[in-house]
Structure 1
Amino acid sequence: MITIRKATVNDVKQLAIVSKKAFFTPHQHAIPKEIMDNYLKESFSEENLTKEVTQENYEYHLIFYKDELAGFSKVILNTPNEHLKIQNVTKMERLYLVEEFYGLGLGKKLFDYNLDLIKNNNQKGIWLYVWIKNYRALKFYEKVGFKKIALYDFPISATETRPNDVLFLDLS
């Protein structure tokens, strides 16, 4: 059984654990351990996640498979991008699954859930960053209709960045 629901403050502890696992898997061989540890600690701390889960324009949704948290999404409504001329666009900042849930169609279900949410909020498109060597994610986004519009150096520490594609899905 698959369920999707909005995250609350009560989910933060579990969300922090799943966030770290899901980010680590595709990036583990590309980011030095010390930098990875710091990024995970800062980006997915319970304090940071609590702030974001309670922020008005942030939408966190959890996907469960057989009552186990399999992943989550984070979208930020009405977030412009410098490479887009249109307004009323959403940034999809995270669409993460824990590796043991790959191949079950959960990512597509969670994406479709977010797509409905975004359309219901009168957004004209979705943009996101994806690491250029995250081939699994790139293939997924291409399959659902995203197009590359730019490159972006994603900061993972004060001294290091990773090249990311900026992708866009036009909904207008």
Structure 2
Amino acid sequence: MYVYRVATHADIDAMQVVRRAVKENALSHPDRISNEDYLPYLQEQGSGWVALHNNRVVGFAIADRIEGSIWALFVLPEYEGNGIGKELHRMMMNGYFAHSDKTVWLTTAFDTRAEEFYRRQGWRDAGMHNAIERKFELSKQEWKAKQPAACTLRTATIQDAELIADLSRKTFYDSFAPDNTVEDMDIFLSQQFTRGKLMLEVGRPELHFILAYVDDVVAGYVKLREGKLPQQAVSGTALEIARLYAEQAFVGKGVGAALMAESIRIARERNKQWVWLGVWEHNARAIAFYQRWGFEKFGECDFHLGRDIQRDWLMRKDVSRES
């Protein structure tokens, strides 16, 4: 699990290590950025944030409120792909626009992952900055429009059985139909994952369903199950996340995060040591999501989708060691 906080003067040495380790947008003369150059941005001129893993700074972001620009956003190469840059960017932009209405800008080298990253975060192409860099801009209005709507949660009741069943089948189909055969999906939905079977799950004492809503529209759900960890794991009390899905229109909008946070809260409320789940080995996006939440692989198991025998990763998170 990564920890994010406001950067301080004590972080400057570690931020320098991160800056000098990057592969893209590396300075041709890194020594030109001295420790003293950070000071104004951590005081009256701007503000910064750091990401830590095991008390080590693995990424940082700094915005310049006076110039209206992004001074730095870097992540150690070995930590790329874990959502650290996205979270630092979110915190940095929220902090910047909390103090300024000025449109912010940045520059980055052509044809880099950084260029694509900023496009995905909603930055607008503002043309060439020089022969080797592109300029991007982002207004306060554009940033606010990109933010997810508020997500509300409620515990499902027996009256929601039809809703849960239909939502379960739809989100499963939308998630996995593109990567599986029509025949296997039809067998699974008509035999293993029928509407009737799913309706009977709602109300069972060992199961707990939570529904997520965005602007009064059902956006996703999670199914929690009481039970022990599989045999591959060490002993301990556990809560299983049996299913966690968001509607396609709400993927990446914070619905999954809200459901995950609530699942962990419930596990702690019930004095569980572990939260665990299974995820298809080829579902890279879901695996990355769980890893960002601190889940680690501890085993594998078979999953039968129609006639296809697939492999799932078993992942767990120790929730007893965090407050």
For normalisation by structure 1, the TM-score amounts to 0.91
2:309 maps to which residue? 161
Q: 1:88 aligns with which of 228, 237, 243?
A: 237
Q: Give 3-state SS (helix, strand or coil) of 1:28's partner.
A: helix
Q: Which amino acid aligns with 1:151?
A: E
Q: CA deviation at 1:2?
A: 2.1
User: d(CA) in 2 for partners of 1:101 and 1:43?
Assistant: 26
Q: 1:150 aligns with which of 278, 285, 299?
A: 299
Partner deviation per Cα, 1:15-39 (whole Å, 9 max, x = no partner): 2222122112231133221221231
Partner deviation per Cα, 1:94-133 (whole Å, 9 max, x = no partner): 0101111012111001110111111111111011110111
Q: Give 3-state SS (helix, strand or coil) of 1:29's partner.
A: helix
Q: Give 3-state SS (helix, strand or coil) of 2:288's partner.
A: helix
Q: Which moved more, 1:12-21 or 1:89-98?
A: 12-21
Q: Which amino acid aligns with 1:29?
A: P
For normalisation by structure 2, the TM-score amounts to 0.50
Cα separation, partners in 2 of 1:9 and 1:124, compared to 1, 3 Å: same
Q: Which moved more, 1:1-10 or 1:40-49?
A: 40-49
User: d(CA) in 2 for partners of 1:149 and 1:73?
Assistant: 22
Cα separation, partners in 2 of 1:45 and 1:8, compared to 1, 3 Å: farther
Q: What is the CA RMSD across the aligned residues, in angstroms?
A: 1.5
1:47 maps to which residue? 196
Q: Give 3-state SS (helix, strand or coil) of 2:200's partner.
A: helix
1:141 maps to which residue? 290
Alignment of 1:49-88 (within 5 A): 49-88=198-237
Larger radius of gyration: 2
**Higher RCO, Cα 8 Å, sep 6+:** 1
Q: 2:164 aligns with which of 15, 28, 38?
A: 15
Q: 1:98 aligns with which of 236, 247, 265?
A: 247
User: d(CA) in 2 for partners of 1:101 and 1:121?
Assistant: 29
2:169 and 2:195 in contact (8 A); partners too: no
1:26 and 1:134 in contact (8 A); partners too: no
User: d(CA) in 2 for partners of 1:4 and 1:120?
Assistant: 17
User: d(CA) in 1 for partners of 2:158 and 2:193?
Assistant: 14
User: d(CA) in 1 for partners of 2:235 and 2:191?
Assistant: 32
User: d(CA) in 1 for partners of 2:221 and 2:192?
Assistant: 15
Question: Mind listing any 5+ residue stretches in structure 2 that lack a counterpart?
Answer: 1-149
Partner deviation per Cα, 1:54-78 (whole Å, 9 max, x = no partner): 1101111110111111110011123
Question: Mind listing any 5+ residue stretches in structure 1 that lack a counterpart?
Answer: none
What number of residue pairs does the alignment pair up?
A: 171
